[in-house]
Structure 1
Amino acid sequence: MKNIAIVESYLTTRTWVEAINSSSLLVPYILCAQKTELDYYTKHGIPAERICDISMQKFESLQHEHAELYEIALRYEKQFSVKLNRIISMDRILKEKSYEQALCYLGFIAQSVDLFLTKHDVSVIFQESTWAQEIVIAEVAKVLKIKNYFPQTVRIPSSRSCFFEYLSPDDMYQRENACNMEEIASDAFSAVVNKGEKPDYFYLEEPANIANKQNLISLFRQVRMMVSGKKNSMCTPSLHQLILDKVKTAILRKALLETSVVFPAEMVVPSSYILITLHVQPESSIDVYGNTFANQIEFIQAISKTTPAKYKILVKEHLPSVGCRPKGFYKELSKISGVVLVSPKEDSHQLIKKASMVISVTGTSCFEAALLGVPAVTASKMYFSDLMVVDQFNPYKDSVEELLSLSSKIENSPQSRIKKLERILCNSFEGNFADSRSFEAVTERENLEKIRFAFEEVVGCFS
């Protein structure tokens, strides 16, 4: 039996724990930031001694120790590879709190997790990497030399997942007995290139109106947590802010999509262009993995400076982000030399196919572009970087013109692309680790069995 820790992340980790509970080889311990989830796991058979309470309620009960927690945070920072200021800046909610309170909270997380992991001899941690407490837990694990993995779907195909090591979307867990992925890679390649299929998340319900199912569920959950006094204000917005944001977003989105004030009603595609796909923000894919390039306006400004004038720079918005951007965002983008804003309703595959190059911070659009035979680069190194023109592209140092020149010299046959995809998939597992609210099928018994097997292999139960 091996002790493993799961860092609670609402519906996503409920599925993980359910899968692990069916294992005779693993003992799950839970690091719980939400009081409601602590109650959930207790009711579902996880003994209280196997749950580390890092909730806001626990933190607030230590008010008299805050001066000490501040100093504890500073002491831990000396051992961390990421500064606390950067961790706070990555977190959409914590960065809005008072600086002293944020540091005390991170000190509380670090100390609580350190003591808990050490006491229970945890050998591996599985978690997501969105919130500040999750980054701090990953840093503590690194200090304690405990393996830390981030399960995630490989996107292409969405039915397979992989495990990334500490905050590195390019550092995938290497399977000792990797399976032959030739047929699966060929089918996945064909699905994108010949059938025009896109990753599963593309087909999720678009939250275009405030009364849709997803928004109502989120609102109900917030009300329930507020009434019960179990809300963690360090990683969930206030009810007032949630409602205000939803209403404002819905109104602004409707206005932006139904007029041509920002996005052209009819797209006239230029003969030569670079395509840049924007990221949803806040989101871990850019605020954590691509934090250096999190200011997307500055990112595109830098790209523009080294792009030859013969190329337009098409900037395509991500549909869920319409109505969520800061005031003046699109106006600033439109001022950048060569930039043409593209409606989020435009077909991304059609734009990709005609592009001279596709650029994003960490986006799957570059993964799709490479499979479609279009040169692509990401600013952060990714698990699919083998398919890119270069491993990573820093627009503040590198030149788009040089990339365009280099791309013409790279072997780019369908066979070479399939082979590279096969190498990526060799270290993937069957199963989907996503949250059950977005993908109900993840809770089906067959998927839970696949997840359990993946956890057991990664922990080393079969070695």
Structure 2
Amino acid sequence: MKVLFLENRYKTYFWELVASWLRQDGHEIYWIVQNHAFKPRNEVNCLVIPYPTAQEIEEVKNVEVSHRIVSSNRGLNYFDVKSPGFLHYYYGSIKAYIDEVSPNLVFGECTQFHEMITIDVCKKKGILFLHPSSCRYPRARFSFYQYDTLVPFSGEGAKKPSHEIIEVIDGIISGKSRPDYMFSTNSPSKFALLRDKVRLTIEYYKGERFNTPSPVRKYKLDKFKKKMIQAWELLAKKEVIDKSRFNILFPLQMQPEANIDVWGYPYSNQLEVVKKIVGAMGEGDVLYLKPNPKSKYELEPDLLKMAGLPQVEFLRHKSSTADIMPDIDLVITVTGTMTLECILSKKPVLSFGMSIIDDQLSYQLNTSFRTLEDDINSIRNGERAFANDDHLLLINFLYSTSFDGIIGDGLHNRVYLMNEANIENLKASFRCVIAELQD
């Protein structure tokens, strides 16, 4: 098979390991590199896309780029890139290379713009694109998601006995079991972080200005972020919930992040989502906004203005979800992990974005701006509830569509790639997927 990998900064370190395993099995390996500083070592079949000049960007305007690719782009949304013209330039280069190579399978993420472009090309050509990522629960497992969706490909297929499932659910509900991304088992040293900053800055001045902000822009963004967090905390209240009212919780998700920017499309604008929720609420309802503990650029002045509304309350960054959940009547989210936690604890929840379990439950999980008011009312009136076995179905589905293993990278989670048992699990998983495609 011809297998194509996409550079993604320090994730490339992991892709190189996978490529070495597959090469040993006789597969042809190809690469697409956007950031030249992370070109894989000793790779021959490698397209390193030249950084475009302003003139080259100006000359390429006849390539159609989808609204989804534009709307999820970090450069345009946060890094002060003025025009989407660079997307047309990269689209042409990527499409030409895929036409030339004709890979059977592509591995990558759905985070950076060159990955989103590749996904679009693969969809149109019928080439399978897989994005291996943690399935959040159960812990230490991951799934191969197709293209830019949360639809898993393959999996171990095995289901667990009910008593084991109940143990897993109890651990999640109690907070004893948390998703892998919440563990900081291998935080980089200050020297490693400084070296990373220098590396990215040097590459910025060489021409990589689409996934990387300028040092000045980064400084301004960090300063703005701190200002917004401080302002939020001044407006926030202690976790005192009025039990006599119908209480709705909206947990804000960190941005930029593929979890919401891609999987949450077209509901990625959280300010707009909050406004729609307020407009759909009943007269005596209260909306509690809970910030992400690691909030980034999703906090903005117009969102802070929502604190002036009588039906909106801000919670602090350190607020405990466990403390407030008993008094919350409904959770509304875009694509947050809390969706899974609500299903397992049978807490009413509505989700705007993609879900890995849309067709697995008797409970109607998804909502939209058009149906939101009716959906809230149906829950307020007790017309929508989970079936007795929905929580069991969820965990069994997650087990059957995932594999043992934790995916690491070359900076923040390198420890997982140094663990021999974990590496063996990862090898077996990738080889299982390849074998399934060859059958």
Settle same-fold status: TM greater than 0.5.
Answer: yes
Structure 2: segments with no counterpart, 5+ residues: none
Is 1:363 the counterpart of 2:343? The answer is no
Residues 154 and 428 of structure 1 are in contact (CA less than 8 Å); yes or no, is this contact kept in structure 2?
yes
Pair 1:445-2:420 in alignment: yes
- 2:48 is aligned with 1:87: no
| Shift, 1:406, TM fit | 7.2
Q: Corresponding residue for 2:178?
A: 198
Q: Which residue of 1 aligns with 2:209?
A: 233
Report the 3-state secondary structure (helix = DSSP H, G, I; strand = E; otherwise coil) of the residue aligned with 2:3: strand
Equivalence for 2:81: 97
For 2:31, give the aligned amino acid.
I
Note the C-alpha offset of 1:214: 7.2
What are structure 1's unaligned runs of at least 5 residues?
78-82, 206-211
Specify the code of the residue in structure 2 equivalent to 1:244: K
Distance 1:318 1:243, change over 3 A: same
Question: What is the match of residue 219 of structure 2?
Answer: 243
Q: Distance in 1 between matches of 2:81 and 2:8?
A: 21
Report the more deviating stretch, 445-454 or 214-223: 214-223
Answer yes or no: is the 8 Å Cα contact 1:155–1:199 preserved in 2: yes
Instruction: Find the counterpart in structure 2 of residue 179 from structure 1.
Output: 158
**Corresponding residue of 1:46:** 43
Cα deviation per residue 1:407-450 (whole Å; 9 max; x = unaligned)? 6543443x441232212321111112243533333212322222
SS of 1:320 mapped into structure 2:
coil
Instruction: Find out whether 1:155 has 2:139 as its counterpart.
Output: no
Per the alignment, in what secondary structure is the counterpart of residue 288 of structure 2?
Answer: strand
CA offset digits 1:50-96 (Å, max 9, x no partner): 1111252xx33xx665454222x23xx4xxxxx2x442221121353
1:458 aligns with 2:433: yes
- CA deviations 1:252-284 (Å, max 9, x no partner) are 54x458xx52112x3211214111111112222
Q: Secondary structure at the match of 1:125?
A: strand
Q: Decide which of 363, 366, 377 is 2:350's aligned counterpart.
A: 377
Residues 349 and 365 in structure 2, CA contact (< 8 A), matched pair in contact too: no
Q: Which residue of 1 aligns with 2:400?
A: 426
The whole-number CA distance in structure 2 between the counterparts of 1:432 and 1:231 is: 33
Are the aligned partners of 1:158 and 1:200 in contact in 2 as well (CA < 8 Å)? yes
Aligned counterparts of 2:273 and 2:224: Cα–Cα separation in 1: 27
Aligned to 2:196: 221
1:80 paired residue number: none
Kept in 1, the 8 Å contact 2:329–2:347? The answer is yes
The answer to whether the Cα contact below 8 Å between 1:35 and 1:231 also exists between their aligned partners in 2 is no
Equivalent of residue 410 in structure 1, options 385, 388, 392: 385
Q: Give the number of aligned pairs.
A: 426
The equivalent residue for 1:188 is 168
Question: Does the 8 Å CA contact 1:276/1:360 hold for their aligned counterparts?
Answer: yes
Structure 1 Cα separation of the partners of residues 195 and 218 of structure 2: 11
- Using structure 2 for the length normalisation, give the TM-score: 0.87
In 2, the alpha carbon distance for the partners of 1:247 and 1:194 equals 36
Q: State whether structure 2 residue 270 is matched by structure 1 residue 296.
A: yes
The alpha-carbon distance between structure 1 residues 274 and 196, as it changes in their structure 2 partners (threshold 3 A), is farther
Q: Compute the displacement of 1:156 (Å).
A: 0.9
The equivalent residue for 1:35 is 36
Q: What residue is the counterpart of 2:316 in the other structure? A: 343
User: 8 Å contact 2:107–2:129 — kept in the other structure?
Assistant: yes
**How far 1:35 sits from its partner (Å)?**
0.6
Deviates more, 1:136-145 or 1:21-30: 21-30
Secondary structure at the aligned position of 1:319 is classed as coil
Number of the residue aligned with 2:93: 112
Identity percentage over the alignment? 18
In the aligned structure 2, how far is the partner of 1:319 from the partner of 1:305?
A: 26
Equivalent residue for 2:372, pick from 388, 398, 401? 398
Q: Which residue of 2 aligns with 1:208?
A: none
Distance 1:237 1:155 in 2: 29
Question: Are the counterparts in 1 of residues 378 and 384 from structure 2 also a CA contact under 8 Å?
Answer: no
8 Å CA contact retained: 1:274, 1:355: yes
**1 CA distance for matches of 2:231 and 2:361?**
35
Verify the 8 A CA contact 1:249 1:323 in the aligned structure 2: yes
- Amino acid paired to 2:3: I
Deviation per CA, 1:76-118, whole angstroms, max 9, x where unpaired?
x4xxxxx2x442221121353232xx32x22332222223223
Counterpart-to-counterpart distance in 2, 1:231 and 1:178 = 46
CA distance in 1, matches of 2:108, 2:269: 26
Q: What SS class does the counterpart of residue 22 from structure 1 fall into?
A: helix
Q: Does residue 1:10 correspond to 2:9, yes or no?
A: yes
Between stretches 118-127 and 371-380, larger displacement belongs to: 118-127
**Counterpart Cα distance in 2 of 1:215 and 1:401:** 47
CA distance in 1, matches of 2:38, 2:146: 25
8 Å Cα contact 2:109-2:115 kept in structure 1: yes
